Amino acid sequence: MNNILNDSKKNIKEEEIITERFIDTVCKQIAENKSVRKTLPLRGRLHIDRPLPFLVVYRRPVKRIDHGTDKLVKGEASYLIASASRKIKAGVSKLVQNIIVQIASEHKAFLILEVWTKKNNQLNSNNHSGILKPSITLKISKTHFPTETVEALQKGLSSIYLLRQKINVEVLYDNSQWPEKMHSLVPNNFGKANNCYLIGIEIDPIFQNAITGDIFPLVLRKLHQGLSKALKLGVFQFSHNQTTLRPTNYQSLGRRAMVKAVWEVDQKLAEISNAYDFLLLVTPINIDQSWNKFLSSKFEKSPIFYYRPIPINPSALKTKLYGIPIEQIEDPTISNLFYEKQVELEKTLSMLRDRRTRNFFYGSMQLYGELTTELKSLALKILENTSAHRKEPIDNTYFDCNSFAQRAEEELNYYKQFFPELNSKVQIREDITGLMVSKGNLLLGKKIKIPKRRVDALLQHEIGTHIVTYVNGKSQPFQQLYAGLAGYDELQEGIAVLTEYLVGGLTSARLRLLAGRVIAASNLIDGATFIDTFRELKGKFDFAQRIAYIITARIYRGGGLTKDAVYLRGLMNILKYFSSGGELEPLLVGKISSSHVSIIKELQARKVLNPPMLRPRYLENKVALEKLSELKNGLTVLDLIKRS
pLDDT, one tens digit per residue, over 132-191 is: 678 999 999 988 789 999 999 999 999 999 988 999 999 999 888 999 989 999 999 999
pLDDT at 393: 60
What pLDDT score was predicted for residue 183? 93
Q: Residue 546: which region, alpha, beta or left (left: phi > 0; alpha: psi -120 to 50)? A: alpha
Amino acid 461: pLDDT: 97
pLDDT of residue 522: 98
pLDDT of residue 8: 37
As beta bridge partners, residue 162 has: 165
- Give the pLDDT score at 11: 46
Handedness of CA 610, 614, 615, 616 (dihedral sign): negative
Low-confidence ranges of the chain (pLDDT < 70): 1-15, 120-132, 389-395, 644
Alpha-carbon span 387 to 508, nearest angstrom: 8
343 Cβ contact list (under 8 Å, min separation 6): 486
In 3D space, the residue among 121, 153, 125 whose CA is nearest the CA of residue 56 turns out to be 153
Q: Give me the long-range contacts of 228-233 (CB less than 8 A, separation at least 24).
A: 228/75, 228/76, 228/332, 228/333, 229/156, 229/159, 230/153, 230/155, 230/156, 230/157, 230/159, 230/160, 231/56, 231/76, 231/113, 231/153, 231/156, 232/156, 233/152, 233/153, 233/155, 233/156
Contact between residue 562 and residue 554 where contact means Cβ atoms under 8 Å apart: no
Helix axes 332-353, 217-242, angle to 10 degrees: 150
Cα angle for residues 24, 257, 248 (degrees, 5° grid): 100
Rg (CA), the chain: 29
Contact indicator for 91, 146 with CB cutoff of 8 Å: no
> In degrees rounded to 5, what are phi and psi of residue 436?
-160, 155
CATH topology of domain 2-257: Aminopeptidase (3.40.630)
pLDDT at residue 80, rounded to an integer? 98
Q: Which of 431, 95, 73, 484 is nearest to 272 (CA)?
A: 484
How distant, in Å, are the alpha carbons of 394, 523, 537 from that of 515?
Answer: 24, 13, 10
Contact 138, 198 (CB under 8 A): no
Would you call 429 helix, strand, or coil by DSSP?
strand
Measured CA to CA, the distance from residue 137 to residue 157 in angstroms comes to 10
